[in-house]
């Protein structure tokens, strides 16, 4: 009985150990999931993000080396039956491992990261984009190469692959920070200043950016998408984006104007020319709604029109829940046709 | 002079090396901020400023080295090992000299680290 009991308890312990391993593996899953995807600095898709990721791995390697060395030393110091070190040798160990070694290591890492900076700050190409962070969305204005009128958009950025694009970052209200981890490091948007950030995407795809500086109640709901396209496709899209809206007339358009939406929003090709909120001229071509937080579906558009502050606390837009349901549906449907 | 021919170590000789580091930091930081606030073109080179930082850095390192020599003298050239726990004037001198010498080493490295960006960053971007 006793042997059986011991056996069982040993088996129990084994199960416990396995459970512990599995538990740890499960705990590690969310961490590993952060290593790739549309918003990961460890899955770079741009020149600067590549440099940052490489720097991270170098720093991690150096930190791991130090960690192993310190643990090894601690184990050595705690070993049983040790001979005391000579005073002079102990002093030398402290000098080299405690002062000179770390200083040289830090110096090497500092020089390495400083040497990366000139290439990251090189001038951009002919396309220039102004991005303005506002509570809690992004105003985007493309300045096409070779002149021509600027193209206004919002909450979604499109870039040509393999080209350096200079972003001019500003803010009219509070400090925001522009961050697309897969493409580059973050850059603050400071009222009264214009900061530059040059992006050079290296592969096509859909990436996610976010505001990285606390800017108010909906800071965590201030995101955007970045679509990196082939240069020819980008040129075609930019030309399309510069045109007026595709479906300006109809009942939805009339209701949009009658209810005063045009006081804050612009839809080019209609009398709506407000500058307070996002430009909605080509809303239907954007993948998301409300600055990267909802899928751009008709139901979500209706919800946003009726209760914007339920979705984005402290947003400037008032709710239009007092309108008849039919009118809300007509406006949402019309917005969905603005290709 | 505070860092050169003081007969005895005191609080002022102890504070001199970190004070040199602080002044060096302030001069570099303020000069770069003023130069970039005045620059019309952010791509224009900052040659003059980088030479100024080089000169100020060499001066600060030289002053810290001189302070280190004095601290070594106050320490008694290492004739007495720590811990300096006897309540006598000599031991107190050795303690202050040793602490100042360590602060000299820290300030030296810090001044180098403060100046390093001027090596690679040539304009106001």
Residue identified by tokens 């302030």 is B26
For residue A111, the chain B residues in CB contact (below 8 A) are: 116, 119
Neighbours of B29 (CB within 10 A): 11
Q: What is the DSSP letter of A165?
A: E
Among B43, B116, B122, select the one facing A111 at the smallest CB separation. Answer: B116
pTM of the predicted structure, to 2 decimals: 0.80
What topology does CATH give the domain A40-74+93-238?
Answer: Immunoglobulin-like (2.60.40)
Q: What is the mean pLDDT of residues A81-86?
A: 82
Interface residues on A facing B, Cβ-Cβ cutoff 8 A:
87, 99, 103, 106-107, 110-111, 114-115, 117-118, 121, 123, 196
**How large is the average pLDDT for residues A9-15?**
42
Flag whether pLDDT at A18 surpasses 70: no
Q: How confident is the model at residue A9 (pLDDT cuts 50, 70, 90)?
A: very low
- Distance (Å, rounded) from C-alpha A44 to C-alpha A52? 9
Distance from CA of A188 to the nearest CA of B (A): 14
Which 3 state secondary structure label does DSSP give A197?
A: strand
> Would you say the CATH fold of A251-335 matches that of A40-74+93-238?
yes
Among left, alpha and beta (phi > 0; psi -120 to 50; other), residue B33 is: alpha
Q: Which fold has domain A251-335?
A: Immunoglobulin-like (2.60.40)
Residue range A258-290, pLDDT digits in tens: 999 999 999 998 988 899 999 999 999 998 998
Quote the pLDDT of residue B45: 82
pLDDT tens column, B54-108: 999 999 999 999 999 999 999 988 787 778 888 888 899 999 999 999 999 999 9
A220-238 exposure pattern, b = at least 16 Cβ within 10 A, e = fewer: ebbbbbbbbbeeeebeebb
For residue A92, pLDDT over 50 is answered with: yes
The residue among B113, B115, B123, B124 with the most chain A CBs within 10 A of its CB, best to mutate, is B113
Residues on chain B bordering chain A, Cβ-to-Cβ distance under 8 angstroms? 42-43, 81, 105, 109, 112-113, 116-117, 119-122, 125
Among partner residues A99, A110, A118, which is closest to B113 by beta-carbon distance?
A: A110
- Residue from the list A103, A107, A117 with its beta carbon closest to the beta carbon of B120: A117
ipTM here: 0.85
Q: Which helix (H) or strand (E) holds A25?
A: helix A2-33
The domain limits of chain A are 40-74+93-238, 251-335
- pLDDT band of A31, cuts 50, 70, 90: low
**Residue whose token pair is 């590993």:** A32
Report DSSP letters for B78-96, one per residue: T-SPSP--S-SHHHHHHHH
Residue A13 has pLDDT above 90, yes or no: no
Closest residue to A110, CB basis, from B42, B81, B116: B116
B43 preceded by a cis bond (ω within 30 of 0): no
Quote the tokens at residue A39: 């918003």
The DSSP result for B17-58, as a single string, is: HHHHHHHHHHHHHHHHHHHHHH-S-TTS--HHHHHHHHHHHH
């Amino acid at each position: 009985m006793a042997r059986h009991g011991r056996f069982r308890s040993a088996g129990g312990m084994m199960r416990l150990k396995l459970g512990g391993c599995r538990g740890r593996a499960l705990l590690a899953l969310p961490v590993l999931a952060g290593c790739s995807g549309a918003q990961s600095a460890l899955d770079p898709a741009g020149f600067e993000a590549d440099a940052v990721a490489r720097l991270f791995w170098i720093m991690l390697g150096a930190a791991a080396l130090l960690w192993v060395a310190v643990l090894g030393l601690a184990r050595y110091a705690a070993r049983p039956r040790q001979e005391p070190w000579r005073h002079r040798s102990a002093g030398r160990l402290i000098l080299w491992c405690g002062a000179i070694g770390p200083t040289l290591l830090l110096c090497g890492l500092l020089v390495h990261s400083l040497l990366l900076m000139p290439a990251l700050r090189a001038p951009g190409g002919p396309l220039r984009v102004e991005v303005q962070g506002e509570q809690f969305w992004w105003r985007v204005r493309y300045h096409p190469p070779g002149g021509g009128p600027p193209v206004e958009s919002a909450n979604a950025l499109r870039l040509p692959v393999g080209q350096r694009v200079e972003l001019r970052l500003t803010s009219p209200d509070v400090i925001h920070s522009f961050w697309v981890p897969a493409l580059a490091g973050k850059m603050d948007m400071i009222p009264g200043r214009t900061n530059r950030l040059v992006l050079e995407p290296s592969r096509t795809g859909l990436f996610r950016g976010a505001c990285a500086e606390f800017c108010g109640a909906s800071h965590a709901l201030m995101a955007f998408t970045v679509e990196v396209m082939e240069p020819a496709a980008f040129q075609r899209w930019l030309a399309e984006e510069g045109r007026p809206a595709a479906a300006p007339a109809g009942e939805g358009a009339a209701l949009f104007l009658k209810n005063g939406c045009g006081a804050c929003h612009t839809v080019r090709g209609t009398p709506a020319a407000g500058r307070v909120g996002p430009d909605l001229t080509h809303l239907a071509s954007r993948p998301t709604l409300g600055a990267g937080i909802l899928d751009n579906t008709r139901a979500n558009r209706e919800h946003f029109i009726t209760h914007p502050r339920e979705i984005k606390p402290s947003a400037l837009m008032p709710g239009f829940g007092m309108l008849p349901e039919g009118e809300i549906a007509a406006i949402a449907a019309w917005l969905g046709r603005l290709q | 002079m505070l860092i050169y021919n003081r007969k005895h170590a005191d609080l002022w000789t102890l504070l001199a090396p970190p004070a040199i580091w602080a002044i060096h930091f302030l001069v570099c930081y303020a000069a770069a901020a003023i130069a970039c606030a005045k620059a019309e073109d952010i791509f224009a080179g900052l040659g003059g400023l980088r030479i100024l930082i080089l000169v100020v850095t060499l001066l600060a390192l030289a002053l810290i080295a001189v302070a280190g020599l004095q601290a070594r003298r106050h320490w008694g050239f290492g004739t007495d090992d720590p811990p300096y726990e006897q309540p006598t004037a000599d031991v107190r001198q050795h303690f202050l000299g040793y602490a100042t010498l360590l602060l000299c080493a820290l300030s030296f490295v810090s001044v180098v680290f403060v100046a390093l960006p001027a090596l690679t960053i040539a304009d106001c971007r």
